[in-house]
Amino acid sequence: MTHPNPHSDSAATAEILIQPTRGWSWFSWRELYAYRDLLWLLARRDIVARYKQTILGPLWNIIQPLLTTVVFMVIFSRVARIPTNGAPSSLFYLSGMLPWNFFSQTFQSTASTFLVNANIFGKVYFPRLIVPVSAMISNLVALAIQLATFFVIFAVEKHFPRAGSFHLTAGVWLLPLVFVQVAVLSLGVGLWIAALAAKFRDFAVLSSFLLQLWMYATPVVFPLTRVPARWLWVAEINPMTFPLEATRQMLLGAGTPNIVLFANSIVSTVLIAAAGVLLFQRVEKSFVDVI
Amino acid sequence: MSRPILEVCGLSKRYTLGSIGSTSLRDEFTRRWEAMRFLGRRGAAGRGAPGAAPGDFWALRDVSFSVQPGEVLGIIGRNGAGKSTLLKILSRITEPTSGSARLRGRVASLLEVGTGFHPDLTGRENVFLNGAILGMTRSEIRRKFDEIVAFAEIERFIDTPVKRYSSGMYVRLAFAVAAHLEPEILIVDEVLAVGDSSFQKKCTGKIQSIAADRQRTVIFVSHNMQAVEHLCSQILHLDQGSVAGFGPPAAMVADYMARTAEARGTVRTRTLADGIQLDNLLLSPNPVTAGDPLKFEITLSAPVPTTVHDFHMVLNNPSGYRVALVDLRDARGPYLLVPGQPAVFAGSIARLPLVDGSYGVGFVLRTGREHQDCNDLFHLEVRPPPPRGPLVPYAVQYQGTTVLDYTVETRGVNTR
């Protein structure tokens, strides 16, 4: 006798086989899709809960990058006099922070997946990848708000032209693809750290330092053209260089992406993400027993 | 018979004691280093074989059984028998070390109420989130939403953040979501009857109705023998990770009771806490008749001088509820136990006012370093008192928990 259930197709598959898995395993798109409602609800939770009991709420998504931009303008532009490829410094920093903030937020939320959700993971099963992906989706909201802020400042700068020139370039419609790459890359790196930190907390500590270092290895506060020749290799192997330069080129005409950066970046993004997923899937199996 | 909805085949789960809790890189390096050094001596033989390595602990060992659709399977066994591990494997929270389990149907497991509740979100938002975590789809939750809210009795507060809820409201809402799951296989841990007593009744009622309509297959772990016997159609008895019995409830419960009562009020050394040994527990008479006096004598010893801050004996009824406590502290202050000088606590209970049944006798002991509850170490059999007059006494399940010493005088009552 089977209980007729109109939703039996939607949440879990008909037959579940539980046995020890050996070696590495990829995740199942079908299962991820079956849990899509949970994906959205978790993303929604992250968005709603983040600004509960704050006075300004989502406005922080506007204020925080603006404040950072002002700080950058004072320190890197006025004091250190680092040029900004001819673009107004405000737009230069804001455009750089679009991909970088999205990257760092997603990286951080992904890296802490196991530590933050240890309790839930110990009590109920769902594909664990849901959690980092839903956090990434919630970060997209912050990204969208920041992008809107960018365009407001863009319009203001256009209206009161100062020295320097800037313009949207024809390739701007490719911008979403750049952010897709950043999403995949940040999830990939984050999954690495999450998997390692599940067993060794040391990596949780290390990750914030890594992120800091990574920012200075990425042309966020300086243009790629100002990187000394002997350090150029760092920028070239860094998969975040291309998204940064591409964003700047698309939004301001002030970036210098090239085919070498592009190829490097795409290849390493795919490799890092694939390895990250494999490692994460492996740790996921035994994580409850070691945490 | 149709195809079993759940088939478990040779399921085993090993925990490597050394690796649990070693969460820093340095520990791991040390462990690997030690392993390398000892590899030569221990040899490769025995690695992975059950019980071979000294640091291994087998929480489950070669467990096999199958469940037909619509059955209610109760899992019983002492603490540490592997019940929770089995539930965790069937819920896909952790993987078995070997063996397999096949579940034919949609599974939902309830090992905790309110998993994933977020304090800042409203009751409404949490119902959807928690439902989705437990495996419901959004449309399903929407359909049952009103029913869930009504069951939890929190209509007025559904749009209030749950952090402002009283703890009672919180668990009510959490249980309500769980109770409205409609999987083909429901896995439940016993600690689900929550809230005040009237809500508890509602919870057990709900579990009973789920179990009774035989539409769903239910797998549930409990220490409450009455509930298990009443609700289940099959019982799996686990002992130290292995199947000790599988069959009809009455026989399994009786067998379980017999096994646990093996050391009835006799000499048996146990470590209570912090190295302190219970050398002897004497309960006499055992079995004792309800309402009769009961003498007890407890002997403790310690391997090193140890201060005991708290010590009491507890009695749990057959359902696992604590019914009485014997305070063994001294008004003058904490005890100091010294090696070679056993401490004896002797006394008597004037009249034991408990209805008949098998009671678990345990101890709670607290030293400066450790606090330990040791429930159900021994069993005390209580026999029914001689009947009052010629009437047939009420069956034990109608008697409540205590036997009162009372008299009744009647006036103006005519009997036919």
Sheet holding B98-104, edge to edge: A15-18, B98-104, B6-16, B56-67
What is the identity of the amino acid at B105?
G
Residue A23, Cβ density class (10 Å: 0-12 exposed, 13-18 middle, ≥19 buried): exposed
- Residue-level pLDDT at A184: 97
Asked if the ipTM is above 0.85, the reply is no
- Residue-level pLDDT at B216: 82
**Chain B residue closest in CA terms to A124:** B93
Q: Which two tokens stand for residue B157?
A: 């507060």
- Cα separation, B66 vs B73, in Å, equals 10
**How near does any CA of chain A get to the CA of B57, in Å?**
12
- Cα separation, A10 vs A201, in Å, equals 36
**Cis amide leading into B69 (omega within 30):** no
- Cα separation, A73 vs A67, in Å, equals 10
- Cα separation, A286 vs B178, in Å, equals 26
- Cβ within 8 Å, pair A7-B125: no
HEC profile of chain B: CCCCCEEEEEEEEEEECCCCCCCCHHHHHHHHHHHHHHHHHHCCCCCCCCCCCCCEEEEEEEEEEEECCCCEEEEECCCCCCHHHHHHHHCCCCCCCEEEEEEECCEEEECCCCCCCCCCCEHHHHHHHHHHHCCCCHHHHHHHHHHHHHHHCCHHHCCCEHHHCCHHHHHHHHHHHHHCCCCCEEEECCCCCCCCHHHHHHHHHHHHHHHHCCCCEEEEECCCHHHHHHHCCEEEEEECCEEEEEECHHHHHHHHHHHHHHHCCCCCCEEEECCEEEEEEEEECCCEECCCCEEEEEEEECCCCEEEEEEEEEEECCCCCEEEEEECCCCCCCEEECCCCCEEEEEEECCCCECCEEEEEEEEEEECCCEEEEEEEEEEEEECCCCCCCCCCCCHHHCCCECCCCCCCCCCCCCC
Who has greater pLDDT, A255 or B138? B138
- Residue-level pLDDT at B41: 44
Per-residue confidence band for A152, with pLDDT thresholds at 50, 70 and 90: very high
Closest CA relative to residue A221, chosen from A102, A61, A107, A71: A71
Who has greater pLDDT, A27 or B196? A27
Tell me: pLDDT of A144 over 90.
yes
Q: Which two tokens stand for residue B208?
A: 């009973």
For the stretch B99-127, pLDDT in tens is 999 998 888 888 877 788 888 889 999 99
Query: What mean pLDDT comes out for the span A124-153?
Result: 92
pLDDT beneath 70: ranges in chain B: 1, 17-55, 190-200, 214, 260-269
CB B189 within 8 A of CB B212: no
What is the identity of the amino acid at A169?
T
The pair phi, psi for residue A185, each rounded to 5°, is -65, -45
Return the residue matching tokens 């690495």. Answer: A192
Q: What b/e string do you get for A166-205 counting C-beta neighbours within 10 Å, with b at 16 or more?
A: beeeeeeeebeebbebbbbbbbbbbbbbbbbbbbbeebbe
Q: Give percent of chain A with pLDDT exceeding 70.
A: 94
- Residue-level pLDDT at A43: 93
Per-residue confidence band for A136, with pLDDT thresholds at 50, 70 and 90: very high
**Chain B residue closest in CA terms to A291:** B21
- In chain B, which among 206-265 make CB contacts under 8 A with chain A? 215-216
- Cα separation, A166 vs A59, in Å, equals 27
Out of A41, A49, A290, closest to residue B132 by CB = A41
- Cα separation, B368 vs B310, in Å, equals 10
Closest CA relative to residue A88, chosen from A161, A17, A148, A175: A161
Query: What mean pLDDT comes out for the span A273-290?
Result: 87
Per-residue confidence band for A188, with pLDDT thresholds at 50, 70 and 90: very high
- Residue-level pLDDT at A270: 96
Query: What mean pLDDT comes out for the span A167-190?
Result: 92
Out of A15, A123, A201, closest to residue B111 by CB = A123
B306-316 and B98-104 as β-strands: parallel, antiparallel, unpaired? Answer: unpaired
- Cα separation, A5 vs B208, in Å, equals 21
What is the identity of the amino acid at A266?
I
User: Please, what is the average pLDDT of chain A?
Assistant: 86
Who has greater pLDDT, A12 or A197? A197
- In chain B, which among 295-354 make CB contacts under 8 A with chain A? none
CA-derived radius of gyration, chain B: 25
- Cβ within 8 Å, pair A288-B94: yes
- pTM of the predicted protein model: 0.72
Per-residue confidence band for A248, with pLDDT thresholds at 50, 70 and 90: very high
Q: Is A205 on the interface with B (CB under 8 A)?
A: no
- Residue-level pLDDT at A193: 93
Query: What mean pLDDT comes out for the span A204-222?
Result: 90
- Residue-level pLDDT at A3: 40
Q: What b/e string do you get for B145-184 counting C-beta neighbours within 10 Å, with b at 16 or more?
A: beebbebbbbeebbeebbeebeeebbbbbbbbbbbbbbbb
- Residue-level pLDDT at A163: 65
CB A51 within 8 A of CB B121: no
Min mean pLDDT across A57-66, A210-219, B324-333 is at: A57-66
Out of A18, A38, A291, closest to residue B96 by CB = A18
Return the residue matching tokens 């419901």. Answer: B136
CB B363 within 8 A of CB B278: yes
Degrees to nearest 5, angle at CA A165 with A162 and A167: 120
**How near does any CA of chain A get to the CA of B64, in Å?**
13
- Cα separation, B191 vs B315, in Å, equals 20
Quote the crossing angle between the two packed helices A175-199 and A241-252, to the nearest 10°. Answer: 150
- Residue-level pLDDT at A143: 93
Return the residue matching tokens 């008597």. Answer: B348
Out of B70, B88, B133, closest to residue A126 by CB = B133
- Residue-level pLDDT at B267: 43
- Residue-level pLDDT at A263: 92
DSSP for A37-106, please give it: HHHHHHHHHHHHHHTTT-SSGGGHHHHHHHHHHHHHIIIIIIIS----TTS-HHHHHHHHHHHHHHHHHH
**How near does any CA of chain B get to the CA of A192, in Å?**
16
**How near does any CA of chain B get to the CA of A234, in Å?**
28
Q: Which two tokens stand for residue B191?
A: 């600690």
